[in-house]
Chain A
């Protein structure tokens, strides 16, 4: 009666960026650039024709789910979208049972989003499918981190020694956690900024600076990434929305504290006027559109890598 099943598959997974080396990350980003060109040229359209990619989102998502779907289809995979509302998952079937069922129906690569941290690790231990983590609780969102890294690399060049500041509800952010791994591995310095209660979880994280006021957070930053604030949680954590906007909302004026012309990123969707002003989001510093554009080629690269096609 064993609690865990030995892994039998030769498939690789993308569970988080922490398991990737710097050269793994660089290879994925280079491949994403290649995929962007291939997609424009309608090449590689049969690369994944033997694969069935399951999209299994237990949490609402639009842009991540759609970009995975487009990525899989661009490479010729069969795509099944397992919309969770109305599936047996809500009727008490366990995650493990769902995973095993999907594998038996022929899914070969599973893109999984789940509200529980670690759910993709359980899926990887439970099945022979290649597992791609599309966000697990507050833990990780590796494809977002890769597309952010690509976006930053294209804007700044190599990230060695560059200072990237991440601002917002960092403690509850899976985007921030995966970005920390990716940016540090790529040689960047990372500074986290936000109300003390929101950055406390990172006390002692190796190689990370903490700033609890905006001037300190932005000083010298080569790029600034701001995170979505969960409006419903603002009051609970002792930080009012009004206080957050007063102390932390980014605008053109405040961005002058950072390095000249430093770009701004946001994983989306933004809360208008909370994390940053509309002017900033749409202005010359903004890379938010580029992040969205990079989503599909990065996910093409990831799917090709985990299935062994590239």
Chain B
């Protein structure tokens, strides 16, 4: 975008006044139009700021706590062609994020304290805070546990073998017992590897039509049920990431009703896109489906729609939207998974799974809100304070706090374009789609990290 600027966490703290901005703070449920002032990075009474400071007209804009992504793939170290810590952090700032949690499936994986420290150090002057999720098992090999306590000491905020579930129930139980004592969550990619083996898209009529091997929802549900049982036994905090089926969501609902410490997130693409996108559809989940149309030769079998877990059935996408509205789903997490074109511009079944999401999550959420599928306050909470709570962080828009916020225009339209992304990668089937929502300003730790 023309005239946009990125900043970093090591810049000088900001001082300015946002005039007439709609402030949504899910901490206290407040939603009001007022002036918001920053003085040397701290939120201050608008009436107390000295005259002459920069005044930014913000009528029609929304200010909210900075967004927190629980699930980001930065490809550094190892495959920096797809993304680096610096480029991923810029994409995050541009999407309104002030914190992202880096998944450990790099090369080498983040499975020792020194590697946690390396990422933390490397991200010190990034455009957003980068928290580190450590691997649960050595080399993500699913055989022996990492040194969880030492990893926490080095800065790990949670643990995950994302890309795979912990394969054995016995090891998952051991991990959860240890995680309970270090007070950090297990972030589980719930997928039974044997059940999912060979599958490339969600089982159903579209997979049948395309002749692609279908992924069955039982692959998710079996691990979700196993882990909930282990959470009940161990008392560990279990966070289920990228839930994609109504069945798994119902299992979480039952666990929560029992008072178990189980949380979950959903990705923007599992809320808004459906398995029909693999056949070339570009209808969002809440729009009327275009079943039975001939395959669009320009869009069908597009490798950018290959993602794991696979894009859901329309019914499941609508169930996930409902789950987000009723609060059973705590957070929206992007599973931002950058890949260079050569990993995606291949036959569908050979495409690397994953799509980018940091720069489109808010827009997808706003599109859902415009369609009446979500409330704006709920969307803001699911992007900001609720994911932050899962990694033990608090943020608020109260006077005296170090400022951590996003300001966005909820009505401005944008066309998602490959040349208009801060990420190093452009692997999203949303290219060419017009969506609402443009981030104007992101402030992390009192510093302006993005402004447009």
By a beta-carbon cutoff of 8 Å, the part of chain A in contact with chain B is 1-4, 7, 13, 15-16, 18-19, 94-96, 114, 116-119, 121-122, 124-126, 136-140, 171-172, 174, 177, 200-206
Residues in chain B near residue A114, CB distance under 8 A: 347
Residues in chain B near residue A203, CB distance under 8 A: 205, 208
Q: With A and B bound together, what is the CA distance between A16 and B427 in angstroms? A: 26
Interface hits, B184-237 → A, CB 8 Å: 205, 207-212, 214
Q: Is the CB of A138 within 8 A of B212?
A: yes
Q: Is the CB of A118 within 8 A of B418?
A: no
**B49 at the binding interface (Cβ < 8 Å):** no
**B4 at the binding interface (Cβ < 8 Å):** no
Task: Determine how close the nearest CB of chain A comes to the CB of B202; give it in whole angstroms.
Answer: 13
Given A95-B347, A116-B348, A122-B347, A4 and B302 contact (CB-CB distance below 8 Å): yes
Q: Is the CB of B303 within 8 A of A139?
A: no
Q: Is the CB of B349 within 8 A of A177?
A: no
Task: Determine how close the nearest CB of chain A comes to the CB of B200; give it in whole angstroms.
Answer: 9
Residue of A with least CB distance to B280 = A121
Residues in chain A near residue B342, CB distance under 8 A: 94
**Top 8 closest pairs, chain A to chain B, by CB:** A118-B301, A138-B211, A116-B347, A201-B208, A139-B211, A18-B294, A19-B294, A117-B211
Residues in chain B near residue A116, CB distance under 8 A: 347-350
Residue of A with least CB distance to B214 = A201
Task: Determine how close the nearest CB of chain A comes to the CB of B390; give it in whole angstroms.
Answer: 32
Q: Is the CB of A125 within 8 A of B348?
A: no
Residues in chain B near residue A1, CB distance under 8 A: 341, 418-419, 425-426
Q: Is the CB of A140 within 8 A of B211?
A: yes
**B56 at the binding interface (Cβ < 8 Å):** no
Given A1-B418, A95-B347, A15 and B302 contact (CB-CB distance below 8 Å): no
Residues in chain B near residue A15, CB distance under 8 A: 295, 297
Q: With A and B bound together, what is the CA distance between A81 and B426 in angstroms? A: 36
Q: With A and B bound together, what is the CA distance between A171 and B341 in angstroms? A: 31
Q: Is the CB of A177 within 8 A of B341?
A: no
Q: Is the CB of B431 within 8 A of A3?
A: yes
Residues in chain A near residue B292, CB distance under 8 A: 206
Q: With A and B bound together, what is the CA distance between A41 and B246 in angstroms? A: 63
Residue of B with least CB distance to A117 = B211
Task: Determine how close the nearest CB of chain A comes to the CB of B215; give it in whole angstroms.
Answer: 13
Q: Which of A118, A125, A200, A204 contacts B210, CB < 8 Å? A: A118
Residue of A with least CB distance to B304 = A3
**B71 at the binding interface (Cβ < 8 Å):** no
Q: Is the CB of A174 within 8 A of B301?
A: no
Task: Determine how close the nearest CB of chain B comes to the CB of A240; give it in whole angstroms.
Answer: 21
Q: Is the CB of B349 within 8 A of A117?
A: yes
Task: Determine how close the nearest CB of chain A comes to the CB of B217; give it in whole angstroms.
Answer: 15
Residues in chain B near residue A121, CB distance under 8 A: 295, 297, 300-301
Q: Is the CB of B346 within 8 A of A3?
A: no
**B287 at the binding interface (Cβ < 8 Å):** no
Residues in chain B near residue A95, CB distance under 8 A: 346-347
Greatest chain B CB density within 10 A among A13, A19, A136, A201 is at: A201
Q: Which of A3, A119, A138, A202 contacts B341, CB < 8 Å? A: A3
Q: With A and B bound together, what is the CA distance between A118 and B295 in angstroms? A: 10
Greatest chain A CB density within 10 A among B211, B214, B291, B304 is at: B211
Greatest chain B CB density within 10 A among A118, A126, A139, A177 is at: A118
Task: Determine how close the nearest CB of chain B comes to the CB of A109; give it in whole angstroms.
Answer: 16
Task: Determine how close the nearest CB of chain B comes to the CB of A115; give it in whole angstroms.
Answer: 9
0/1 interface trace, chain B 32-45, chain A, CB 8 Å (1 if under): 00000000000000
Residue of B with least CB distance to A7 = B298
Given A3-B345, A116-B347, A118-B210, A204 and B205 contact (CB-CB distance below 8 Å): yes
Q: With A and B bound together, what is the CA distance between A121 and B300 in angstroms? A: 7
Q: With A and B bound together, what is the CA distance between A47 and B363 in angstroms? A: 53
Interface hits, B122-158 → A, CB 8 Å: none
